[in-house]
């Protein structure tokens, strides 16, 4: 790295702007560990070798008969390794990346992701409702593209808005195959003559799902192959910041205009369903401290087969075992674990009520305090 770019690398990330230039150079000039999500739609046309800005590697594996073809794969692999490494440097430790491609390039990209240290979380198939048919009838209709979702490294705490995606899917878990139409109609950017402004403009619906699912409002999304700025447009709509990198002047111009016209959705509309994991933890002992349950009270298991008694320190004691609500529940069920909150019940006025109701009361009080 030159001295100049070293200095540049100290700079603050220019949020909500489109940077001109080669994406590898530009990424190397941005501060490390500064980006929450990267969405990348890299080029895959192997014929455009000159566009990769890489000298041909003269080392030829003479064992292989297809040396010329191999050489071109090699150049693409090198390019892929380089931009993936530059992107990984920018990611926060708990950040993630999405890359989209077709069978021409996605296998090389996926292998490079794994070799670079990313950890694949899912591959996701975009199933096109309206693909272009195979006119010559020589192959299957190419009706999908593949996305790879990966964290920066194994074990990282990536963002995943499970409940929000479940809501987007009528209350059942979001699957790894997404059925969405390609980008057409008014959404498709056209030039003055009515020709498409960009050959592979992605639909906003695709980015909507990616960004809702793997970022939170206020996060920064970087797109190193910005094109006409679908990533930036959807990020702005959804109250996220973006950074775009694009080499072609023409595409940048379309993207600027397009994003300027967008106004973010109202903040309350951007709140999404959250998981119980995000709710504050309530120690069972607090129910005793607050007098919602009293030492000596009896709790009954789900199914009413077991009984335990509440003690002053918030532990339970059963016939032959004592411990936390979870431990005693697990013991009686012979299970590896047990959620005591949903397992145990108390009696009041002849009714059997889950102790989780009491926890919800406490949480409601806490919310009133902080909001």
Residues 230 to 249: which contact its own copies by CB under 8 A?
237-238
Both tokens of 360, joined, read 């919800």
Q: Which of 134, 294, 353, 357 binds DNA (CB under 7 A)?
A: 134
| Span 261-300, contacts to DNA by CB under 7 A | 275-277, 279, 281-284
Are the CB atoms for 128 and 200 separated by under 8 Å? no
Are the CB atoms for 227 and 247 separated by under 8 Å? no
Cα 150 from chain centroid (whole Å): 8
Shortest gap between Cβ of 305 and its own copies (angstroms)? 16
Both tokens of 247, joined, read 């080499």
Q: Which of 15, 60, 191, 265 binds its own copies (CB under 8 A)?
A: 265
| Span 7-46, contacts to DNA by CB under 7 A | 41-46
**Interface stretch with its own copies, choices 193-201, 245-253, 287-295, 349-357 (CB under 8 A):** 287-295
Binding mask 81-120 for its own copies (x = CB under 8 A): ---------------------xxx-xxxxxx-xxx-x--x
**Is 159 strand, coil or helix?**
coil
- Give backbone dihedrals phi and psi of 169, rounded to 5 degrees, phi first: -115, 35
CB half-sphere exposure, 206, CA atoms < 13 A: 29
Interacting partner of 212 out of its own copies, DNA, none (Cβ under 5 to 8 A depending on kind) = its own copies
Q: Which of 170, 192, 193, 320 binds its own copies (CB under 8 A)?
A: 170
Q: With binding defined as CB under 8 A, does residue 179 bind its own copies?
A: yes
Q: With binding defined as CB under 7 A, does residue 185 bind DNA?
A: yes
Q: With binding defined as CB under 8 A, does residue 310 bind its own copies?
A: yes
CB half-sphere exposure, 355, CA atoms < 13 A: 29
Shortest gap between Cβ of 9 and DNA (angstroms)? 26
Q: Which of 50, 194, 291, 350 binds its own copies (CB under 8 A)?
A: 291
Name the residue among 314, 295, 298, 279 with its Cα closest to residue 353.
Answer: 298
DSSP conformational letter for 278: G
Q: Which of 175, 190, 319, 347 binds its own copies (CB under 8 A)?
A: 175
Q: Which of 4, 157, 267, 305 binds DNA (CB under 7 A)?
A: 157
Are the CB atoms for 84 and 116 separated by under 8 Å? yes
The CA distance from 66 to 119, in Å, is 31
Q: With binding defined as CB under 8 A, does residue 218 bind its own copies?
A: no
Nearer to DNA, 294 or 342 (CB): 342
Nearer to its own copies, 13 or 156 (CB): 156
The CA distance from 165 to 173, in Å, is 7
Are the CB atoms for 252 and 30 separated by under 8 Å? no
Nearer to its own copies, 115 or 250 (CB): 115
């Amino acid at each position: 790295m030159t001295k100049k770019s070293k200095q540049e690398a100290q700079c603050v990330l220019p949020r909500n702007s489109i940077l001109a230039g080669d994406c590898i150079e530009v990424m190397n000039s941005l501060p490390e560990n500064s980006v929450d999500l990267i969405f990348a739609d890299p080029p895959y046309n192997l014929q455009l070798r000159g566009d990769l800005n890489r000298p041909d590697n003269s080392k030829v594996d003479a064992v292989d008969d297809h040396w010329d073809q191999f050489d071109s794969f090699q150049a693409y692999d090198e390019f892929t390794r380089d931009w993936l490494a530059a992107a990984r440097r920018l990611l926060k430790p708990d950040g993630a990346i999405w890359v989209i491609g077709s069978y021409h390039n996605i296998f090389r990209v996926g292998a490079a992701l794994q070799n670079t240290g990313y950890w694949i979380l899912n591959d996701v198939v975009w199933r096109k409702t309206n693909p272009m048919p195979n006119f010559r009838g020589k192959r299957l209709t190419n009706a999908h593209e593949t996305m790879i979702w990966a964290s920066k490294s194994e074990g990282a705490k990536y963002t995943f808005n499970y409940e929000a995606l479940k809501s987007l899917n009528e209350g059942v878990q979001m699957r790894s195959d997404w059925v969405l139409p390609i980008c057409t109609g008014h959404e498709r950017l056209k030039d003055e003559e009515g020709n498409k402004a960009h050959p592979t403009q992605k639909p906003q619906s695709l980015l909507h799902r990616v960004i809702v699912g793997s970022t939170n409002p206020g996060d920064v999304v970087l797109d190193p192959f910005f094109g006409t700025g679908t990533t930036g447009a959807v990020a702005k709509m959804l109250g996220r910041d973006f950074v775009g990198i694009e080499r072609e002047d023409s595409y940048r111009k379309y993207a600027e205009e397009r994003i300027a016209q967008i106004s973010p959705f109202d903040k309350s509309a951007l709140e999404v369903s959250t998981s119980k994991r995000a709710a504050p933890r309530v120690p069972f002992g607090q129910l005793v401290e607050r007098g919602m349950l009293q030492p000596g009270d009896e709790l009954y298991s789900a199914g009413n087969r077991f009984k335990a008694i509440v003690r002053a320190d918030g532990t339970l004691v059963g016939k032959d075992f004592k411990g936390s609500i979870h431990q005693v529940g697990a013991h009686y069920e012979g299970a590896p674990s047990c959620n005591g909150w949903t397992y145990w019940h108390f009696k009041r006025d002849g009714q059997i009520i889950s102790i989780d109701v009491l926890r919800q009361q406490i949480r409601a009080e806490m919310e009133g305090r902080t909001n």
